[in-house]
Amino acid sequence: MTKIWLIIRDWVEIITASLIIVFLVKTFLFTTYIVPSSSMEPFIKKGSRIIVNRLSKNFKRGELAAFNYPLNHRLRMVKRVIGLSNDKLELKDNTVIVGKEKFDYQKIDFLRIDPDNLEELNSITVPENSYYMLGDNINNSKDSRFWGFVNKSEIIGKVIMIYWPLRQIRVLR
């Protein structure tokens, strides 16, 4: 009888330790989300599952960020970082202009879209501790053009991997 209790105790300890580790990793290091819309297509399809690194909160232009939706903090969104703090941005003639540098939508990998309906945006400056986000599917994306800037405090982390569906699995740079 004592041997059975020792085996049960061992299993309870293993399961408890495993649950604590999973809780800590998911709470402080990584989390997962389902992409709810087609705003990031063709790069990330609607319904794809992603892994987000909670420790990565500083971004380079072009990286994917998961964040709390500015108009409803209970919703999570994924968009591409286009403007960093203090950047001057313009959307003009199907081009994003950051400072004096132009980004032609037809020439950058992550924005393979038809920008015919891209609305023009007069020159704006991204506030300190904020980002300007755009969806890759520019014509079908509600993004910073509609709800403004994303404060760094609303950032959950950097999208580092698509893990579902299996045929789309990949680590993101």
Six token digits for residue 147: 């709800």
CA 154/CA 29 separation, integer angstroms: 16
Answer yes or no: 107 catalytic: no
Answer yes or no: 45 catalytic: no
CA 75/CA 69 separation, integer angstroms: 5
- Choosing from 3, 38, 39, 56, which is the catalytic residue? 39
CB 102 within 8 A of CB 95: yes
Six token digits for residue 105: 């939508």
CA 124/CA 138 separation, integer angstroms: 18
The counts of H helices and E strands in the chain are: 2, 12
What does each C-alpha distance from 60 to 13, 96, 132, 138, 148 come to in angstroms?
43, 15, 12, 19, 19
- Choosing from 79, 141, 144, 158, which is the catalytic residue? 79
CA 159/CA 83 separation, integer angstroms: 17
Residues recognised as catalytic: 39, 79
